[in-house]
Amino acid sequence: MNKKHNLYLYISFLMLFFVGNQSVAQKYSVEECKEIALKNSWQISISNEQLKSAKHLRRLAFSNFFPEIEFTASYVYMNKPIQALQDDISTGDLINELPGDWGALIPDFFNGFVLFPADRTQIGQHHNHLFNFSLKQPIFAGGKILESYKMSKVMADLMQVNADLDRHKLLYEIEELYWNLVNIEEQEKLVLSYHNMLKILLKDMEAYYSQGIIVRNDLLRVQVKLNELDLSLFKIQNGRKLTKMALAQKMGIDINSPIEVSDDGLKDPSGEISPSEYKLENVVSRPELRLLQNNVKISESAFRIAKGSFLPTIGVGANYFFMNPNIHRGIANEFTNDYIFAFQVSVPIFHAFQKHHMYNLTKSNLLVAQSKLQDAHQQIALEYIMVSNELEETIKQIQITKLTMEQANENLRISQDRFNEGALQTRDLLEAQALWQEAQSHYIEAKAQYNTLLLKQKKASGQIE
Query: 124-143 pLDDT, tens per residue?
Result: 667 788 888 888 888 877 77
What's the length of the chain? 465
- pLDDT value at residue 3: 47
Q: What's the pLDDT tens digit per position in 291-347?
A: 888 889 888 888 888 888 888 888 888 888 888 877 777 667 788 888 888 888 888
Q: What pLDDT score was predicted for residue 89? A: 57
Cα 147 from Cα 142, distance rounded (Å): 10
Closest CA to 437 of 264, 219, 197: 197
| Sign of CA pseudo-dihedral 241, 242, 246, 249 | positive
Arithmetic mean of pLDDT over the chain: 80
pLDDT digits (tens, 9 = 90+) for 6-25: 544 444 444 444 444 444 56
Which pLDDT score is estimated for 438? 92
Mean pLDDT of 266-273: 60
Cβ-contact 202, 221 below 8 angstroms: no
The pTM of this model reads 0.69
What gap in Å lies between CA 343 and CA 134, rounded to an integer? 14
Q: Name the β-bridge partners of 341.
A: 318
Exposed / middle / buried, residue 44 (Cβ in 10 Å: 0-12, 13-18, 19+): middle
Residues forming a β-bridge with 317: 136, 342
pLDDT at 107 over 80: no
Rounded-to-integer distance, Cα 441 and Cα 447, Å: 10
Q: What is the pLDDT of residue 364?
A: 92
pLDDT at 410: 94
Would the pLDDT of 94 be above 70?
no
**pLDDT over 70 at 280, yes or no:** no
pLDDT at 29 over 70: yes
pLDDT score of 413 more than 90: yes
- Tell me the residue ranges of DSSP E strands in 268-357: 313-324, 336-346
Helices 30-40/144-210 angle, 10° precision:
130
pLDDT tens digits for range 348-365: 887 778 888 888 989 999
Instruction: Report percent pLDDT > 90 for the chain.
Output: 17
Q: Which pLDDT value is given to residue 115?
A: 52
Across 74-83, 93-102, 296-305, the highest mean pLDDT is recorded for 296-305
pLDDT at 2 > cutoff 80? no
186-190, 207-211, 259-263, 324-328 — which is least confidently predicted?
Answer: 324-328
**What would the pLDDT profile of 366-408 be if each residue is shown by its tens digit?**
999 999 998 988 888 888 888 888 988 999 999 999 999 999 9
- Tell me the one-letter amino acid at 298: I
3-state SS assignment for residue 53: helix
What are the backbone dihedrals phi and psi of residue 261, each rounded to the nearest 5 degrees, phi first?
-90, 145
